Every structure is written in C-alpha cells, then in structure tokens.
Amino acid sequence: MADTLVIVESPAKAKTIGKFLGSKYKVVASNGHVRDLPKSTLGVDPEKKFKPKYITLRGRGDVLETIRREAKDAKRVLLATDPDREGEAISWHLAEILSLDVKDKCRIEFNEITSNAVKNSIKHPRTIDMHLVDAQQARRVLDRLVGYKISPILWHKVQKGLSAGRVQSVATRIICDREEEINEFVPEEYWTIVAKLNGAKTFETKYFGEQGKKRDVHTEAEATEIKKRVEKAEFTVTECKTAERRKHAPAPFTTSGLQQEASRKLGFTTKRTMMVAQQLYEGVELGKRGPVGLITYIRTDSVRVASEAQEAARAFIGQTFGKAYVPEKPNIYKGRRGAQDAHEAIRPTDLGNDPKTLKEHLSPEQWKLYKLIYERFVASQMAEQVQSVTSVTFDANGATFKSSGARTLFDGYTVLYTESKDEEDSEVNLPAIAENDRFTAKSIDAQQRFTQPPSRYTEASLVRALEEKGIGRPSTYAPTISTIIDRGYVARDKKLLAPTELGFIVTNLMKKSFPDIVDVAFTAKMEEELDEVEEGTIEWTSLMESFYGPFMETVQKADEQVEKVKIPDEVSDVVCDKCGAMMVYKTGRFGKFLACPNFPACRNAKPIIEKLDVPCPKCGSAVLKRRSKKGNTFYGCERYPECDFTSWNPLVAQKCPKCGGYMVQKRGRNGTFVACADPKCSYILRDKKKKDEE
C-alpha cells in the first residue's frame, strides 16, 4: 500500500515519473480527460448560468474504478496533470470524482519530467486554480454552443456530417480568402536586367534605375533599349559602402515556432510534430536508463528560459565551442504581445542528452525533432553572427546597377543552427571592390517576369497567421488543421492547403449568416476574454451571457432564411453495373465511396478500389485496400471469396530473407517498421543507418 497516490494523464508519463519516486508512491494514469459533455445532447443549460452536464467518458469506467480504489487506500492524493488549462480541468474533474476539497493542496505541476522537477513539485503542492478551470470550461461551453447550434443548420441546408467551430470556421475562412486573392490576382509584366561582370571573379549586378533613381521596367522595348545601351559600356563603381551587420540568435521554440520549423525543415505536419513532441516530453526508453523525459512541456507560447537552464547552456557552449561563442550577457527574448508566460519555451531537459548519443534509442522522427529542439535551444543562447556587408552602385552609360554581398567575420550561433527562410537571399559573392573601379560586362541578360499572386498557405504559414491574428492557442493549432481537412473543407496539395468547393460553400454560408463567428477580430477578442477569465478579471458565466443572446438570434434567423445548397457531385469514370449511369463520388462516415447518381431509384454503391503494388501471397492476384463493416482498414485479395487472403497490415514488395514469406508494414511505439507477417518468424527489417548529420 502506497502512502501517496500520484495521478498523471498518460501511462508513458506514469512510467517515467514512477522511476523517480520510491515505494511510498503509487503513480497511475487517467488516460487524459475522464469526464466531458455528452455527445448526444447539448449538455449545457443556458437557463442555469450555462451549467455543464458532465458524464464519464466511454471507456474510462475501469480507469476511474482503479483510481478510486487506489485513492481509498492512500493517505494522500496528488493531481499531477499537465500544467495548462486542460490539465487543470482534468485535475478538477478528478477531485470532484474522488470528493477531494479543491481548497486542499492536492495539485502539483512541473514543466519537465525530470527527477528534480517532480520531487520539487511534490514538496510544493498547491490548491486547484479555479480561474484556470473556469477558462477551460468557458472555452468548452463556448465551442459546444457554436458547434451544436450551427452544425445542424449545415446538415439541413448543405449536407450531413458537416460541422462549424469557433476556431475551425475562421481557419477555413482564412484559407478561402487567400484562394480568392489568388483567383482575383491580375499579373503585371516586368523585366529584370542582370549583368555578369568580369573581375577577379565573375559576379552579378542588377539593374536599379537611371541616374541613381529607382525605375521599374515594364516592357520588352524598355528592356531591349537598356540592354543595348549598357552592353559595351564600362560599369564604374560610383558608391561602395561597407557596414557591419549583426544577426541575433533565434529565440528557443514556442509551440507554433516548433510546428513551423518542423514543417519547413523536416516536412512534418502539425499533428505529427505534436505527437512526436508528446512522446519526447512524456519519456522515451533509453536502454538501461529506462524512460527519460527529454524535453520540457510542449504547449507554450513563451520564449522565457529558466535561469538554471540558461546557465547550463552557457557553460555547455563555452566547453563545446569556446568562450567566443558565449555572449557577454545571457540572451533574453521578448515574447509576442498577448503571449501566455506560464511555462518556459520548449527546450531539452538535460544538455547531457546529446542527440548523437541518443540516436540508437529514438525512432527516426523522434531523433529528428529532438535534434531540432536541442540545437535551436543551444543556438538561442549563443553569440551573434557578425558579417561585413558591402553595397555597391555602378553607373553604366547612365543606367544604375546595384549589388550587395556579405562576408562572415564570425559565425556565432550559425556554427550550430541556421534558421529556415521563406524567401531566398538575394546577396551575391562580391570580389574586393573600391569606388571608381571599372568593369566590363561578360553578358547582359534581360528576362520577362510577371508579378506573382500570394501563395497558398502551408501548415506552417497557417499556424503563423493564426498566431499573429490571435486565433486559438498553442494546443489548438494541430487539431484545428486536422479537423478542417477531415471535414473536407480543405485538401492538402503536396504541402499546400487548398480550399475545396465544400469549404467555399460552407464559408460563404457562414460569412452571410454567422459573420461574427468567422470574423477574425471577433474571434481574437473572444480569445482575449478567455484569457481574462484565466486571470480572474471576469466571470466565465458573464462572458457566456454576453455572447449567447445575440448568437441565438443569429442562429434562429439563419435557420429560417438560409436556403438549401445543392453541391454538384464529382463524376467518376466508373459505370454503374445496374443502370448504366456514370457513378459519382460521395462522402460517407468512413470517407469517400462511389454511388449511383440515380438514387433512390438505383441504390448501387461501391467502395473506391485502391490496389497495392504487391501480388497476393496465396494466388498472385492483386491485393486491394478495403474497409470492414466497422470502418477499419484491411487488405484482401481481389478474388475474394475464391481466395480468402486478408491482412490488417499493408504488404510490402520485399520477401522475408529469413523464411521467404511476405512482409508487412507495422506501427510500433517508435513509428512504422517492416517485419515478416509470420508470427513464428521474428525477422524485422532494420533500416541501414544513415550517416549522422553533423
């Protein structure tokens, strides 16, 4: 029997924390939320100050029974859920279920899962912060009202299965608005004129204007005249300026910063980034060391760093790179306006956990993300990069050309980390140049160009836009993007997010009937008011009352006035084998399928067949991707029922080198891997280790 019961959210975290505490402690997991609003009803009573009706989540009964039993036997219960609004709410729900007094000091929190952090938090328990709980309740009730009041209108007026949301609808609108900008964009012609000059080495200079004044070139005739005028002219240096430029190291990661950089550098989706980061935070098995939490809490919009971590980083930098790379004063970063400063920036819990030494213990995606976080944090505490920047102006028969180049005097933080860029650098590599130097042109190149429309959003740029506009919070970006894609409002086109026809239809309906819900400024103001609830400056029920009345008037008006929208079906090239019509694509509970357009006269429907490029191991026919009656994906022979081959895992072309059987792709705790399908054969295909990145 343990003296103290510690309740955390995940089994992985329970395992990691359990090894820090002795036999007097029992650590159990709640598996996330244990209570929530019911799915079948609104679950909120506006007549009783928006009192939520909470029920035990399906599948949590056994978990709660275990927690109750352990709590009954323990002398003390400590609630150690995540250090944010959601975590505070889970602790409050657990306290309610276990009949704990919220005024008792039963709540502990830590920003990192290390022995010192956990043990220190146990020494300093606190009461449950009801302001945080109220902020979470306000957000949950607000989102429930918006979703459950607007979504039925979308079902009746557009199609079943649609949804609206306070954040998702604004995110969809932002993407649709960008697409409209792109469609309405009228390109304008312009010309660039680039001269390659002969010197100690060939270098480029670009046409700027006439007699030192800026001039844009819009026509081929203008470009041809300038080209002819300067082809045989001398390029005389009229001005040469050299200045020192210092680049400060980038700040350590916030949640959105990590999502953006992981998207640019690693190609990760926001959902994948958060999933892998959660694993690194909760603890990863490091051989004999057992589970170790490698990074600090992952949901934060603060760039603050604890002084102990900062000093450790400065010592590490001095030992690893030399004293010159340690700035005179510690680097301090200013967070964006409105950022919550409750938690530190995302950083490694221990700089002794070098990515190179951990590579054999981490999955490829865990290692890549950890390396990114590790190097970004260390770089954030390093000295500036110092460059000598030279700007040169040339005169060529009255035409003005300009070049700029940079030479690194001290690499500073860039010896370890280079921040990704959205735009390419236009600087060139210049030779030694002084005023009145003269050069001749090796070649003159005039190229026609057109102004480009704004680009579609990527997940990274959408996260940045949501953050800049004050929409949502660090914990909401990944699920918001997943939702609008799953609903069919937005589709991925490689790395770009493109609105679908359905996305446009729903957004236009929302803009017309629920302008406030999809208004960026209104939504941002709601986020600020939720922050005020957290700070204790306003009551959450007061916030709900000011929102609910006008909102319900809008809902009633929309229900009466919005006309039904007919979405044209996408026609396939598959002929209905019952009536001969061309079948169309429909979206159902388990995704897209083929249906006859003559429904209900013809009720023929077919799954969309996806073939694997692997023959059936039994008969050699094609293997198809299928769905079971419960919606689960499996793989089966196209000759079923004549051939009964099935597999829950996708097949791969390679045969097992150990037994000669077929191999499949499986998913484990550390990602996907390829293994023999025969349970009697233990062969697993090990990836050849790539050369470590330096």
Same domain flag for 108 and 16: yes
In DSSP notation, 116-158 reads HHHHHHHHS-B---HHHHHHHHHHHHHHHHHHHHHHHHHHHHT
By the 8 A CB rule, do 67 and 94 touch? yes
In a domain? residue 680: no
Same domain flag for 505 and 479: yes
pLDDT at 115: 93
d(CA 636, CA 609): 11
For residue 268, the domain's CATH number is 1.10.290.10
Render pLDDT for 176-234 as a digit per residue (tens, 0 to 9): 999 999 999 999 999 999 999 998 889 999 999 999 999 999 999 999 999 999 999 99
d(CA 5, CA 79): 8
Q: Summarize the confidence of residues 28-56 as an average pLDDT.
A: 95
- In sequence order, which residues have a C-beta less than 8 Å from that of residue 417 and are 6 or more positions away? 249, 250, 375, 376, 378, 379
pLDDT at 630: 64
Residue with the larger pLDDT of the pair 627 and 435: 435
Cα-based distances in Å from 605 to 569, 575, 582, 593: 14, 11, 12, 7
Range of 539's domain?
Answer: 137-184+455-561
d(CA 353, CA 12): 19
Query: How many angstroms from the chain centroid is the CA of residue 439?
Result: 50
Mean pLDDT for the chain?
A: 91
Q: Say which residue the tokens 């992985």 belong to.
A: 12
Tokens of 573: 């090239």
DSSP letter assigned to residue 361: G
Cα-based distances in Å from 293 to 13, 282, 310: 8, 5, 19
CA nearest 57: which of 94, 100, 26? 94
Q: 393: which strand partners?
A: 239, 402
Catalytic annotation, residues: 297
Same domain flag for 399 and 479: no
Q: SS3 string of 465-503? A: HHHHHCCCCCCCHHHHHHHHHHCCCEEEECCEEEECHHH
d(CA 443, CA 227): 10
pLDDT level of residue 694 (50, 70, 90 thresholds): very low
Q: Is 389 exposed, middle or buried (0-12, 13-18, 19+ CB in 10 A)?
A: middle
Same domain flag for 237 and 283: no
In a domain? residue 651: no
In a domain? residue 629: no
pLDDT level of residue 690 (50, 70, 90 thresholds): very low
For residue 535, the domain's CATH number is 1.10.460.10
Q: Say which residue the tokens 């109220």 belong to.
A: 134
pLDDT at 421: 66
Beta strands (DSSP E) in 526-569 are none
In DSSP notation, 57-89 reads PTT-HHHHHHHHHHHHH-SEEEE---SSHHHHH
pLDDT at 669: 57
607 preceded by cis ω (within 30°)? no
CA nearest 226: which of 398, 438, 42? 398
By the 8 A CB rule, do 269 and 277 touch? no
CA nearest 672: which of 664, 660, 680, 682? 664
pLDDT at 693: 40
Last residue within a domain, chosen from 541, 561, 581 = 561
Q: Where does residue 540 fall: left (phi above 0), alpha (psi -120 to 50 degrees), or beta otherwise?
A: alpha
Least confident of 116-125, 430-439, 560-569: 560-569
CA atoms within 13 A on the CB side of 187: 9
Q: What values do phi and psi take at 666, rounded to 5? A: -120, 160
In a domain? residue 668: no
In a domain? residue 334: yes
In a domain? residue 614: no
In a domain? residue 571: no
pLDDT at 71: 95
Last residue within a domain, chosen from 561, 582, 610 = 561
Cα-based distances in Å from 594 to 161, 476, 599, 609: 17, 34, 12, 10
Same domain flag for 200 and 274: no
Residue with the larger pLDDT of the pair 181 and 495: 181
Q: Summarize the confidence of residues 607-611 as an average pLDDT.
A: 80
State the amino acid at position 676 in one-letter form.
C
pLDDT at 591: 62
Same domain flag for 121 and 14: yes
- In sequence order, which residues have a C-beta less than 8 Å from that of residue 617 and are 6 or more positions away? 645, 651, 661, 662
Q: Summarize the confidence of residues 50-77 as an average pLDDT.
A: 94
DSSP letter assigned to residue 568: P
Same domain flag for 288 and 356: yes
Q: Would you say residue 465 has pLDDT above 90?
A: yes
In a domain? residue 647: no
Neighbour-count burial for 394-431, b at 16+ CB within 10 Å, e otherwise: bbbeebbbbbbbbeeeebbbbbbbeeeeeeeeeeeebe
Q: Which of helix, strand or coil describes residue 664?
A: strand
Neighbour-count burial for 310-327, b at 16+ CB within 10 Å, e otherwise: bebbbebbeeebeeebbb
pLDDT at 393: 97
Same domain flag for 468 and 554: yes
Same domain flag for 468 and 555: yes
Least confident of 225-234, 266-275, 590-599: 590-599
As a residue count, the chain comes to 694
Tokens of 468: 């800049």
Render pLDDT for 654-688 as a digit per residue (tens, 0 to 9): 889 888 889 998 876 556 788 999 888 878 886 54
Sign of torsion over alpha carbons 670, 673, 679, 680: negative
Q: Summarize the confidence of residues 266-287 as an average pLDDT.
A: 94
pLDDT level of residue 303 (50, 70, 90 thresholds): very high
Pairing of strands 213-214, 399-410: unpaired
Cα-based distances in Å from 65 to 28, 69, 606: 12, 6, 44
Same domain flag for 315 and 413: no
Render pLDDT for 313-355 as a digit per residue (tens, 0 to 9): 999 999 999 999 999 999 999 877 656 556 799 999 999 999 9
Q: Which of helix, strand or coil describes residue 364?
A: helix
641 preceded by cis ω (within 30°)? yes
Q: 194: which strand partners?
A: 206, 445
CA nearest 365: which of 3, 673, 74? 673
State the amino acid at position 98 in one-letter form.
L
Same domain flag for 74 and 96: yes
pLDDT level of residue 689 (50, 70, 90 thresholds): very low
**Domain count across the chain:** 4
d(CA 614, CA 654): 9
Same domain flag for 262 and 322: yes
pLDDT level of residue 610 (50, 70, 90 thresholds): confident
Q: Which of helix, strand or coil describes residue 294?
A: coil
Cα-based distances in Å from 430 to 200, 390, 404: 10, 8, 8
By the 8 A CB rule, do 472 and 172 touch? no
Last residue within a domain, chosen from 337, 362, 380 = 380
State the amino acid at position 385 in one-letter form.
Q
For residue 222, the domain's CATH number is 2.70.20.10
Radius of gyration of the chain (CA): 31
